[in-house]
Structure 1
């Protein structure tokens, strides 16, 4: 069918120009070329705008397939990877102090506080404590002391306590090294997921939830000396100031392995003998320095093939009794496993956990507690 209307369109957005054929016959042959040229110019302009918009589009916008032979645009450079949270702390980043230090525990009792109001809750020559270094929970070993006093005894506010200790520590050349709040959820998840257990390993037990940024509630300080590192923890809880001091040092070996012959003699005479083995804090892992004592038990059982033993774990009275019984059993089982690993039949050994139930000495003194923390071999 003949059409009276001819359409002229381009392959972009629908822009059309319509011409009446009968009318066109009356238009000058010079005017028609000008109209066609104008329409083509408009099409070209639209195409250029579309191309410019495509160039300005974000990198994430989907791109049309490239024409054959075209060069693909270069991919944007990947951003630099940030340091992983909890990265290992650089001890060398802390300057060594040039101050003359007072004796351990380095911080005196505050002026005006009666000595009896400063309570020492822990004072041992060697233990392991976890400190907050940067964003790392770092185990350190050495001499440990923890002291507590009540803010009311000095009529101090929490802010006054913070500023007093901050000034005193800086005067000793200490550097504050905590870079994350120990109550931070991600920090807790990176370190076992149990806030209470983690704080216990840090020796702070629990912390106040303070909103004042001038009173952080927890501060980890470090004094580096030419010979050792001294970690000092300042924390607040229920109106109390808590100061924990750890002076890093190696343990001085004081317990020697009892020879197999003496073990045998004691078992024949008394029916039992105590071993003083070292374990990781609140753990059943036997420390390497106690393995020679385990080797003497192996020699004993190799020399007496008919001997059967019950290995009993004992603790002091510190902490929850039920937890201590469970821990003492786990330690006894570790000793059994260490012995049977040396080709001693498991049929000759049993494990038992006595916890704090059978003390040998007064749990009110550190010396008594040390005597109560033992593993006993009992002839069966």
Structure 2
């Protein structure tokens, strides 16, 4: 019985033999366990590797197994156009690129906007591009639509043109919302170049010495896809300089006057071409010691009302700061921002939008 065995002296031969046998069995079991664990780990790693090859990294996509990732944004400063190579490859006419054989863009779904503002996700932020844009739907023409074939062909022609891929994957929801909110009539104008938010998008840039060409391409599985091609174009100021005498006359007659002061896109930075107009404001104030002004910023309706008010106030304050820096007492100036709340023209046209983007001087006397 087991109870009797446990009561035997430790030097009993039977117990010694049993102990030795038990030890040997334990060692064998431990060795087997180690081998099984190693085998299990190896099998698990192999299964994971196979699964990754089959499914691809998140988010799953048929394109992930072959997609070449674009350059990673700089850890400190993020995307920078200046870091991209300059392309000198000869290009044809805008929009420059043709779809691969077997694919076509219906003319009825293609649009060209001579001057607009569209956001592109670069992997770390939305880059706002101003200029000319082409947008169109991509469909199969006598073949089954293949997302990977379309993507590889577009990537190849961009590479041949000296461009690079800056992003490939799903756009973050907050980025998609920022692009939609910051682009005029985005859903209506660019719907033929968009895909479901769950689908990956591919963004490319071709940097030229005088401009940059942006491409955004996506597919909805085998149902078709779309792309947007943009070419940066500097804003051409059309407003004439208003001399201080004309500003003074308008203030005396109506108490206010609108000036077309030009700013960097979506920023409160006065462009160099508008510095002479700042000088005229300074001249007016120096010639009229008792004059006090409210400098009011206004925008078009692109973007959210809240964002527009913030931007308008920042731009008005930028003008105040420039005037003060040229010797005018800050107590004679006030800054106000009304965003798109007080339009003076129709925001449905580019001319109307340009008119609404203004700085107004209002007499506080």
Bigger CA drift: 156-165 or 348-357? 156-165
SS of the aligned residue for 2:345 comes to: coil
Match of 1:96 in 2: 88
Give me the TM-score of the superposition, normalised by structure 2.
0.59
* Local SS of the residue matching 2:217: strand
Corresponding residue for residue 356 of structure 1: 340
The residue that corresponds to 1:266 in the other structure is: 250
Match of 2:115 in 1: 124
- Structure-to-structure mapping, 1:160-171, within 5 angstroms: 160=146, 163-164=149-150, 167=153, 170=156
- The residue number in structure 1 matching 2:96 is 106
Spell out the pairing of 1:239-318 with structure 2 (5 A cutoff): 241=225, 243-318=227-302
In 2, the alpha carbon distance for the partners of 1:275 and 1:237 equals: 46
Distance in 2, matches of 1:106 and 1:198, equals: 28
Q: Deviations over 1:329-350 (max 9, x none)?
A: 2221222222122221222222
SS of 1:178 mapped into structure 2: strand
The structure-2 alpha-carbon separation of the partners of 1:319 and 1:119, relative to structure 1 and needing over 3 Å to count, comes to: farther
Q: 1:209 deviation in Å?
A: 5.9
Alpha-carbon distance in 1 for matches of 2:263, 2:205: 27
Supply the distance in 2 between the matched residues of 1:339 and 1:157 (Cα, whole angstroms): 64
Report how far residue 97 of structure 1 moved.
2.5
Equivalent runs, 1:48-197 vs 2, <5 Å:
85=75, 91-92=84-85, 96-98=88-90, 101-102=92-93, 104-107=94-97, 111=104, 113-115=106-108, 117-118=109-110, 123-124=114-115, 132=122, 143-145=131-133, 147=135, 149=137, 160=146, 163-164=149-150, 167=153, 170=156, 173-175=160-162, 177-181=164-168, 195=175
Residues 1:376 and 2:363 aligned together: no
> Residues 294 and 142 (structure 1 numbering): CA distance in 2 closer, same or farther, change over 3 Å?
same
Q: CA RMSD in A?
A: 4.5
Task: Name the CA distance, whole Å, in 1 between partners of 2:156 and 2:286.
Answer: 59
Look up the match of 1:47.
none
Decide whether the 8 Å contact of 1:273 with 1:377 is kept in 2: yes
More RCO (CA 8 Å, sep 6+): 2
Q: Which residue of 2 aligns with 1:220?
A: 203
Q: TM-score, normalised by structure 1?
A: 0.57
In structure 2, stretches of 5+ residues that fail to align are 1-72, 188-193
Q: CA deviation at 1:307?
A: 1.0
Contact 1:144 1:244 in 2 (8 A): no
More helix by share: 2
Please name the residue that 1:44 is paired with.
none
Secondary structure of the equivalent of 2:213? strand
Question: What is the aligned counterpart of 1:230 among 178, 197, 213?
Answer: 213
For structure 1, the residue ranges without an aligned partner over 5 or more in a row are 1-82, 189-193, 212-216
